[in-house]
Amino acid sequence: MTRYGIVIDLQGCQGCDACEVACKLVNNTPKGVSWIKVVKKEVGTYPNVNEFYQPVQCNHCAKAPCVKACPTGATGKAANGIVTMDYAKCIGCRACEKACPYGARTFIDQVRPYYEDIANSPYDKAAMARFKVNVVTKCNLCSELVAKGQEPACVARCPEFAMYFGDLNDPNSVVSKLITQRKGTQLQANLGTDPSIYYLPAAAK
């Protein structure tokens, strides 16, 4: 069975935020809502400090705590491993937000236009049509694009080719080979959530 996931090369990521911009353009997320964020990180102690950038999004965990926490079935799991959201069922209780150990969910209390003087821009109209208030939202791994055989927007638009998309259950896929060859790791793997997002280590400087 297919299990889609993303491998992110921390050595290649330059912190340009192209993935975040691409995500917003494709998914029309409202102002203040970003399904993927690029976080600047530092490791080591002075004077031996390394700096790198780490894109963070919904991890589409195999054992997703948000799915168990949701009382209405608004948060679910597709056969391909993508953790889904049904906004029609979401009652805004935010149980999923509290259960997620990765901070990947955002509660929408209002849908604000990006620029007040052009509140009727095509982007804002699309955002207001797609999202309602008092719901929790998150990355859906661009499931609509994936269903068409395309890559998620963040992967397709990365100018440094630092993001890879594929089937984690296929040992011959690019993502599986990268994880094996470069010892890819998951965020907070000790929690037992089994994320579908893997990170390749940044090279020491």
Residue 27 within any structural domain of the chain:
yes
Model confidence over 111-123: pLDDT tens digits? 888 877 766 788 8
Q: Of the candidates 40, 57, 59, 6, which has an alpha carbon nearest to the alpha carbon of residue 191?
A: 59
3-state DSSP of the chain: CCCEEEEEECCCCCCCCHHHHHHHHHHCCCCCCCCEEEEEEEEEECCEEEEEEEEEECCCCCCCHHHHHCCCCCEEECCCCCEEECCCCCCCCCHHHHHCCCCCCEEECCCCCCCHHHCCCHHHHHHHHHCCCCEEECCCCCHHHHHCCCCCHHHHCCCCCCEEEEECCCCCCHHHHHHHHCCCECCCHHHCCCCCEEEECCCCC
Model confidence over 194-205: pLDDT tens digits? 999 999 998 654
Rounded Cα–Cα distance for residues 49 and 44 (Å):
5
Q: Which domain holds residue 83?
A: 4-200
Structure tokens at 104: 């990947």
- Residue 103: the pLDDT is 96
Residue 205 within any structural domain of the chain:
no
Rounded Cα–Cα distance for residues 2 and 167 (Å):
6
Domain at 159, CATH number: 3.30.70.20
> Partners of 200 in the beta sheet?
9
Rounded Cα–Cα distance for residues 23 and 36 (Å):
7
Instruction: Count structural domains, the chain.
Output: 1
Q: Is the separation of the CB atoms in 60 and 5 below 8 Å?
A: yes
Residue 34 within any structural domain of the chain:
yes
- Residue 113: the pLDDT is 81
Rounded Cα–Cα distance for residues 83 and 33 (Å):
18
Please tell me the number of Cα atoms within 13 Å of 28 on its side-chain side.
14
- Residue 112: the pLDDT is 81
pTM assigned to the model: 0.93
- Residue 205: the pLDDT is 47
**Positions of the chain with pLDDT lower than 50, given as ranges:** 205
